[in-house]
Structure 1
Amino acid sequence: MDITEQQFEYWLTKREKENLEFKEAKIQFDYKKMMKYCCAIANEGGGNLIFGVTDKLPRQVVGSNAFQNYNQIKKDLFDTFRLRFEIEEFFYGGKRTLIFSIPSRSTGLPLYYENIPWMRVDESLISMTPDHLKKIFNESQPDFSAQVCENAVIDDLDEIAIHNLRHLWSKKSGNAAMLTIPIMELLQGAELLIDVKLNYGALILLGKKEALGRLLPNAEIIYEYRSSESSISAQQRQDYRIGFLAIYQKLWDLINLRNDIEHVREGLFIRDIPNFNEEVIREALLNAVTHRDYHLQGSVFIRQFPKLLEIENPGGFPTGVTPENILYKQNPRNRRIAEVFQKCGLIERSGQGADKMFRFSIEEAKSLPDYTRSDTYSVNLRLSGGIQDVQFLKFLEKISEEKKIDWTVSDLVLLEYIHQGIKLTPSFHDALYRLINQDIIEVSGRGKGVKYILSKKFYTFLGEKGVYTRRKGLDTGAKKALLIKHIEHYSKAKFDEFNDVIPGLTRDQLKNLLKSLRKEGKIEFLGAHRNGYWVLK
C-alpha cells in the first residue's frame, strides 16, 4: 500500500463512514469481530480499517498490539472471502498501527461471514436488510440491450444506420470486408443478432422510426434550442425516434450550427476555441445512449443555449457510479451498446468517457462538466461553453514544461477543484500527495482545519501575491498574536468574539490556541463557564 505520513494524517481528520473505520485495540481485538468489519466494509464498497487509533475526533494514535501475525490474517481473509486484502504495519510517532485495505465486493454479490451479510449502522454491526440485499442483487440484472426483442425483424432496421455501422466498423478494424458481408453476418459479429433474433441493442442503434414507435417508443432523443435559460418555449425543436447510428452525425451538426467561437490571445497568436468541443459533446451523447435506463419511459433531452448545453437521460447513475467517482468507476448499464460503439471506434473502451470530457474542459479553460442536478431518476449533465480562466491554463502549461509532467486527468481535475475551492474526495489522495511532494500544491493548517491551495508560484505567476497570503492564512504565532491584541484592546474577551478575530477557524482550533496561550502564562480565564472571559495574565 505504501502509506505516507501525510495520507495517514489525512485519515485521522476524517469522520468514520462506510469506507473508514478506526479501532483502538491497544492490546488485542476479537478475531471474529475483525472478520465481520472486513465483511461489512467490503459490502459497502471497500475502504480501510485502522487499528491503534481512537475512533472519536480529535483522534489519538494509541498504538496496537493486535494481530501480530497479520500475514496469516491476510490468508484467512482470502480463504473466507476470495478477495485479496492488504494489511500494513505503519508506525506513527513510534506507535504501531495496523491498516487493512479492504476491496469492494463483486457487483451483485454480497459477502457473508458465518452465513450473515454484514453491514454497519453507526457503531453497530448488523445483518443487511432485505432492501439492501435487493439493491445488490439488482446490480447484476441482465443487460437490457442484449435481451432479445421477440417481435423485431430485419426489415425493422434502417438502411442508413446499417450503412454507418458498416463504414465505422470497417474503418476502426481496417477490415474492408465489413462493407460487403451479408447483413446477418454483420449483425451476428456485432452481437446484435442472437439465434436469428434481434436484440434491443439492434433496435436502439439501427431501428427504423416505425419499428421504434411500435416496439420501444422511449428510445427517442429530443433536441431543443433556447436563446436563454429563462426562455419558456424553444426556438427550435427536433424529435428523433430512429436508430442512433442513423443520426449521430446529425445531432452534432445541429448543435454545431449555433456553436460560437471565442478568440483567446496567446502572445502574438490568437487561438480559436468553440463554445462546445466536438469530442466532449460526442462523448456526452454516447454516454446518454449507453447508460440510460430503457425500462423508464422518458426520452433523452438535449437542451442547447448560447453558452450552455444540457443533456438529460432517464435513470440515475448506474450502480456504483456517482458524480464523485465518475472519472474512475465504469459500469455501463447497456454493455452491448457500449461494445458496438467500441467496435465502431466511437469510444475507446466500454467505460464512461468522462475522463475525456473533463480533460478537454480543463484544457480549454472551461468549467468542469456538472452533474449536480442528477438524481435517482435521471442523469443531468451541464456543459459550459464560456472561457473561464486562461491564466490558470497557462500556469499548468508552464509547470508541465518546467517539471516535465504529463498531466493525468486526476491531476487536472484535482488542480481545478483546489483552484475553485471545491471539496476533495478520497479518490484524489494519490494525486494530492504526489503534487504536494512536487511543490505544486501546498498544505495549510492541520487536523480538521487543513486546507489545500495552489503553490506560491501560481499566485506569483498571476501577480496575485496578496491573494496567496490570504489563502495561505496565518501561522500559529500570528494567530496567537491577534488573540492577545484583541484582549489588549478590550481588557477582556469572551470566546465567541474570537470567531470574528480569526474567521474560518473551528471552535476546537480556537480552544487549542487559547489553551496554548494559557499554558504559556500569557492569558487566563475568569468567571463561570458560560459567562466567563479571557484576560491577560
Structure 2
Amino acid sequence: MDQPALNALLEALISTWENEIVEFKQAGNDYDTNKIGEYFSALSNEANLRGQERAWLVFGVSNKTRGVVGTNYREEPERMHGLKQQVAQGTEPSVTYRDIHELQHADRRVLLFEIPAAPRGIPIAWKGHYHARAGESLGSLGLDKLDEIRQQTLAQDWSAQLVPAASLADLDEAALARAREAFAQKYANRFSADEVMGWPLTTFLDRARLTQSGRVTRTALLLLGKPESVWHLSPHPAQLTWKLEGAERAYQHFAPPFLLTTTQLYQRIRNIQLRLLPQDELLPIEVSKYDQKIVLEALHNCIAHQDYTRDGRVVVIEQPDRLVFENEGNFFDGAPSDYLEGNRIPRRYRNPFLAQAMAELNMIDTMGYGIHDMYARQAKRYFPMPDYDLAESGAVRLTIYGSVVDPAYSRLLIQKTDLPLADVLALDRVQKKLPIPDEAVSRLKRAGLIEGRKPRFHVSASVAKATGNMADYIRTRAQDDEFYAKLITDYLQQSGQASRADIDKLLVDKLSDALTPDQKQRKIGNLLTKLRRRGRILNAGSRGKPEWKLAE
C-alpha cells in the first residue's frame, strides 16, 4: 500500500480503536520481542475466529491520548527483517507477518504489522502456548476457542480421522526415532534433544500433532506406519510409485512410513553430475542433475496435498531429462503462480492435520515458501524453471528439469547472477517459446536481454555474443527492407519475371525466424507493394496470378 492508503487505514483503525483484531502500542526501540510474539498468536487466532483475513498490531500510537506519537522501534532494515525470522522461529506452525508497513504520519513514524489469520483448523501458538484476546486484553486461548478452531476442518479432514483398529504398535520404530530427531531439530531453541527423546511416546506424538490424545490417526499411519499396517487405510491406497522411462524401464512402489520412504525413492533417481561450460572459460561448472531439496520438497508437497479420497497414488516419473510428479486433487488454494514470489500464505489446506504434522517434522512449511524456494534453487543451478500443468482433470502435474533447454539461457544465468526471479521466470518462458506479458517484454527489452517481434522473442545481440549464440541471433535478426528489395530486383533482372510463388521461395528462408509463416507472407506482400508504388516493378499478370517484372 502507498502512503495515502496507509494513512487512511491508520485513521480507520484509530476511529474504531482496539478490539480482538487490533492492538495499538507506543513501543520504543527495545519493545519485548516475546510480547510481540504473544500478540501475534492472539491476533492471528482471533482473526480466524471472526472470519477475517488479517489483524493489525500498530506501533507509534498512544493508548492514553489515542493519537500518533511515533516510534523508533528497529529503524534499521536489517533488524526489522530479523524480527520476521524471530516470529517464524517462535510460532507453531511457523508463520510470520504478511507485511510490515511503515507510514510517515505528520513526520512521525508508524509501523503497521499485518498479521495473517490462522489457517482453518490450525491455531497459532507462540513458544508452545496459545494466546487470544478478551476485548482489548491479552490472555490464553481457552479450550472453547481452541476446539472451535481445530474443529473447523476436523470433520472434513480425511487425514485427521482416527483409525480405531490401529494402535501404537502399528508405528515403525525407525520412523519414530527419526521423527523425534526432526522435531528436536526444529525446536532446538526450546527443547534439548535429550528432553524430546525422553518424552513418553504418547506425549511426543501428541506434541508433534500426529495423534489425538494418544489415538492413532490416518496421518500417523501415513508418516510413521509400518508397511504391513497399511491395510488400516484400505480402500485408500497409501503408496508412492517411482517409474523409469526411456531406453531402460523400471518401477518400484513405496509404502509408509513416508517419513523414511521419500528418501528411499529419491535414492532410486539417477542423479549424475552435469558440466556446464561458461563462454570463454576452460573450467566447467559442475551441478547435480537434480537438487535433493527440490525433489523432496516436490514429493512432500504431493503427500501433503494429495486427495486421498480419490483412491490414487503419488507417482514420480523419471524421464531422461526431467522428473514428473503427479498427485490426485486440484491445486487447493489459489494457483502455483500465486506463490512464486514467496509472499502468499495459504489460507486453507486439503489435509490440515497432515500438513501441520509434516510441518512439525520439518517436511514442509506452512508459509507458502516451498514453490518459491524450488524456483529460486533451480535458477541458482542455471536450469529451466519447474512447470505446473493443471489441465488434467482432478490432478496436479509438476515437471522438474534435469537438463539444459537453451544453452544461452543457462550461460546468461551464470553471467548475471543478480537477475530478479521475475526476470528469470520471463526468460525461461522465452527459451520455452511461451508467451510472456507485455510488461515483462518491455522490461527485458530495456535491459537488453531479448529482442524480436511478438510472439517470437529471442536473446538479444549483445547477450548472444556474450553467450556464444550468434548463429541463433543471425537466424532471427530482421534485415533492412532494402536488403530484401535488392534480392527481388536482382532476381527479376536475372530471370526476367517471377510469380508470387517464386518470390516466396526466394525470401521465406531469408526472413527472420522470429516471424510466423503468416507474418512472413504479409511481409513479402508489403515489400512487393512498396516496390510497385515506387515504380521499380510492375505486375504483368492478373491480381490473382501476378507476374512480376522490372519496370522499364
Distance 1:438 1:179, change over 3 A: farther
Unaligned runs of 5+ in 2: 2-152, 510-514
Q: For 2:328, give the aligned amino acid.
A: G
Q: Distance in 2 between matches of 1:187 and 1:384?
A: 37
Distance 1:531 1:272, change over 3 A: closer
Distance 1:153 1:437, change over 3 A: same
Give the aligned CA root-mean-square deviation in angstroms: 4.3
The residue number in structure 1 matching 2:331 is 318
1:347 aligned to 2:352?
A: no
Distance 1:377 1:491, change over 3 A: farther
Answer whether contact 1:262 1:273 (CA < 8 A) is retained: yes
Q: Give the alignment partner of residue 203 of structure 1, picking from 192, 209, 221.
A: 221
Identity %: 22
The residue number in structure 2 matching 1:220 is 239
Answer whether contact 1:318 1:332 (CA < 8 A) is retained: no
Task: Show CA shifts across 1:368-401 (max 9, x none).
Answer: 546679733654555454466666534333334x
Q: Offset of 1:220 from its aligned partner? A: 0.7
Q: For 1:160, give the aligned amino acid.
A: A
Q: Distance in 2 between matches of 1:322 and 1:491?
A: 61
Answer whether contact 1:222 1:301 (CA < 8 A) is retained: yes
Answer whether contact 1:370 1:383 (CA < 8 A) is retained: yes
Q: Offset of 1:270 from its aligned partner? A: 5.7
1:287 aligned to 2:292?
A: no
Q: For 1:231, give the aligned amino acid.
A: E
Q: Give the alignment partner of residue 417 of structure 1, picking from 429, 440, 443.
A: 429
Q: Give the alignment partner of residue 168 of structure 1, picking from 182, 193, 214.
A: 182
Q: Offset of 1:438 from its aligned partner? A: 1.6
Q: Distance in 1 between matches of 2:546 and 2:408?
A: 50
The residue number in structure 2 matching 1:96 is none
Q: For 1:440, give the aligned amino acid.
A: L
The residue number in structure 1 matching 2:392 is 375
Answer whether contact 2:330 2:395 (CA < 8 A) is retained: yes
Unaligned runs of 5+ in 1: 2-139, 401-405
Q: Offset of 1:152 from its aligned partner? A: 6.0
Task: Show CA shifts across 1:317-344 (max 9, x none).
Answer: 5268778888579786545434443443
Q: Distance in 2 between matches of 1:169 and 1:441?
A: 47
Distance 1:321 1:424, change over 3 A: farther
Answer whether contact 1:169 1:344 (CA < 8 A) is retained: yes
Distance 1:535 1:251, change over 3 A: same
Q: For 1:148, give the aligned amino acid.
A: Q
Task: Show CA shifts across 1:182-232 (max 9, x none).
Answer: 5555555555446776554333223332432221451111335x5x71335
SS in 2 for 1:295: helix
What is the TM-score of this pair, normalised by structure 1? 0.57
Answer whether contact 1:365 1:388 (CA < 8 A) is retained: no
The residue number in structure 2 matching 1:22 is none
1:435 aligned to 2:444?
A: yes
Q: Give the alignment partner of residue 502 of structure 1, picking from 504, 508, 516.
A: 508
1:259 aligned to 2:265?
A: no
Written as runs of structure 1 = structure 2, the 5 A alignment for 1:19-418 is 144-149=157-162, 151=164, 153-155=166-168, 156-174=170-188, 175-176=190-191, 178-181=196-199, 183-184=201-202, 186-193=204-211, 199-216=217-234, 217-224=236-243, 229-232=246-249, 234=250, 238-255=252-269, 258-263=270-275, 267=281, 271-304=285-318, 307-308=320-321, 310-315=323-328, 317-318=330-331, 327=340, 333-351=350-368, 353-366=370-383, 368-369=385-386, 375-376=392-393, 378-386=395-403, 392-400=409-417, 406-418=418-430
Q: Distance in 2 between matches of 1:526 and 1:339?
A: 79
Q: Offset of 1:241 from its aligned partner? A: 1.6
The residue number in structure 1 matching 2:473 is 468
Distance 1:518 1:162, change over 3 A: farther
Answer whether contact 1:440 1:454 (CA < 8 A) is retained: yes
Q: Offset of 1:168 from its aligned partner? A: 1.9
Q: Distance in 1 between matches of 2:334 and 2:492?
A: 52
Answer whether contact 1:368 1:383 (CA < 8 A) is retained: yes
Q: For 1:468, give the aligned amino acid.
A: Y
Distance 1:337 1:351, change over 3 A: farther
Q: For 1:275, give the aligned amino acid.
A: K
Answer whether contact 1:365 1:389 (CA < 8 A) is retained: no
Q: Offset of 1:464 from its aligned partner? A: 4.5
Q: For 2:239, give the aligned amino acid.
A: E
The residue number in structure 1 matching 2:37 is none
Distance 1:146 1:299, change over 3 A: closer
Q: For 2:433, give the aligned amino acid.
A: I
Answer whether contact 1:518 1:524 (CA < 8 A) is retained: yes
Distance 1:492 1:358, change over 3 A: farther
Distance 1:498 1:334, change over 3 A: farther
Answer whether contact 1:287 1:352 (CA < 8 A) is retained: no
Aligned length: 380
Task: Show CA shifts across 1:49-105 (max 9, x none).
Answer: xxxxxxxxxxxxxxxxxxxxxxxxxxxxxxxxxxxxxxxxxxxxxxxxxxxxxxxxx
Answer whether contact 2:275 2:287 (CA < 8 A) is retained: yes
Q: For 2:220, give the aligned amino acid.
A: A
Q: Distance in 2 between matches of 1:528 and 1:416?
A: 48
The residue number in structure 1 matching 2:50 is none
Q: Give the alignment partner of residue 456 of structure 1, picking from 458, 461, 465.
A: 461
SS in 1 for 2:304: helix
Answer whether contact 1:488 1:536 (CA < 8 A) is retained: yes
Q: For 2:229, give the aligned amino acid.
A: A
Answer whether contact 1:355 1:409 (CA < 8 A) is retained: no
Q: Offset of 1:253 from its aligned partner? A: 3.8
SS in 2 for 1:473: coil
Distance 1:380 1:148, change over 3 A: same
Q: Distance in 1 between matches of 2:302 and 2:538?
A: 63
Instruction: Using the TM superposition, name which of 309-318 and 454-463 deviates more.
Output: 309-318
Q: Offset of 1:471 from its aligned partner? A: 1.6
